[in-house]
Amino acid sequence: MEPISQPVSQAISLEKALASFTQTWSPRIVTAVNDYDVRIAKVDGEHVWHVHDHTDEFFLVLDGELHIALREPQGERTVVLPKGAVFTVPRGTEHKPYAPAPTAILLFEPTGTLTVGDHHDEVPDHVDATTGHALI
């Protein structure tokens, strides 16, 4: 399956799209906007500490709650995003998403961006190191 490389020509139900897969931390590309993928993912538990050197990472919580731990020059902090909240992790900021319960998110990232960033800790089996999968 090739990821979507252009905008889709019909409406996409995010609810149906999320129901079409079960894997966590394994985003699906629902459409593209210019040179960016619009990805959805189911998440639960911890991701991995990682950093994107050249791009910001946008998160929108569709359902559930997402925590994003950040390592910044002034120290570590955690941003808590309830359903409907958005947050952008600035490029070059080491971060680690965590969902205390099953959560659904939407992300904007440049096409080809690896989910575990340019630098990361060891990737556990439950995290898919991918540039996104096509939505079936």
Instruction: Assign residue 121 the CATH number of its domain.
Output: 2.60.120.10
pLDDT-wise least confident of 9-23, 71-85, 120-134: 120-134
Of 134 and 81, the structure prediction assigns the larger pLDDT to 81
How do residues 78-116 score in pLDDT, each as one tens digit?
999 999 999 999 999 999 999 999 999 999 999 999 998
Whole-number pLDDT of residue 53:
95
Query: Is residue 4 in some structural domain?
Result: no
Query: Is residue 10 in some structural domain?
Result: no
Beta carbons of 117 and 51 less than 8 angstroms apart: yes
- Domain of residue 28: give its range: 15-134
Of the CA atoms within 13 Å of residue 89, those in its CB half-sphere come to 31
Best CA proximity match to 67, nearest among 78, 52, 56: 78
Query: Is residue 52 in some structural domain?
Result: yes
Query: Is residue 1 in some structural domain?
Result: no
**What is the number of domains present in the chain?**
1
Beta carbons of 6 and 82 less than 8 angstroms apart: no
Arithmetic mean of pLDDT over the chain: 92
Q: What is the CA radius of gyration of the chain?
A: 14
Whole-number pLDDT of residue 3:
46
3-state secondary structure of 131: coil
Query: Is residue 71 in some structural domain?
Result: yes
Residue with tokens 């080809």: 112
pLDDT band at residue 10 using 50, 70 and 90 as cut-offs: confident
